[in-house]
Amino acid sequence: MIKVGRDRLIDKGIVGNVSYVQANAEALPFPDDSFDCITIAFGLRNVTDKDKALASMRRVLKPGGRLLVLEFSKTDNPLLTKVYDTYSFNILPKIGKLIADDEDSYRYLAESIRMHPDQATLKGMMEAAGLINCRFHNMTGGIVALHYGVKP
């Protein structure tokens, strides 16, 4: 994915001050107060110690810097939850088997989404990591949520 992202930036003429780094989110290899903004999309649920990762992200944010976390989440609509769970646990793995011959990875995807903290819990985790003005915005009925926090 790093190569794909690099190639897309190059194709758009963005070749300047950009580094491509594969790193452990729980121990980011950057100095304190390095970044104005950090984003992570559909990745936090795969981190073993989410609290440690959030603290690491906060550490490398500059004061006033923003953390944006886009992640699968929980819907509060019982009918949508039932439909989404049926799709995720019954249909999605079969599609993965048919298209990629990999039912297990698609089953893991559904399980990792279910195990990920809900919106309010993740907001609280961001606050516990020392971020302020934390909030979230539900999309697609809460199936996906964008979380926001600021380093004081």
Q: Do residues 74 and 68 make contact, with C-beta atoms less than 8 angstroms apart?
A: no
Examine the pLDDT at 15 and tell me if it is beyond 90.
no
Whole-angstrom Cα distance, residue 33 to residue 144?
A: 29
pLDDT band at residue 122, thresholds of 50, 70 and 90?
very high
pLDDT band at residue 20, thresholds of 50, 70 and 90?
confident
What are the residue boundaries of the structural domains of the chain, listed by start?
2-73+117-150, 74-115
Range 46-65 burial, b when 16+ CB lie within 10 A, else e:
ebeebeebbbbbbbbbeeeb
Q: What fold does the segment set 2-73+117-150 form as a domain?
A: Rossmann fold (3.40.50)
Q: Do residues 128 and 53 make contact, with C-beta atoms less than 8 angstroms apart?
A: no
The chain-wide mean pLDDT, for the chain, equals 94
Beta bridge partners, 39, equal 68
pLDDT band at residue 87, thresholds of 50, 70 and 90?
very high
Q: Do residues 145 and 71 make contact, with C-beta atoms less than 8 angstroms apart?
A: yes
At 135-149, the pLDDT tens digits run 999 999 999 999 999
The model's pTM is 0.88
In the structure encoding, which two tokens stand for residue 21, read together? 């780094």
Give residue 101's region: left, alpha or beta (phi > 0; psi -120 to 50). Answer: left
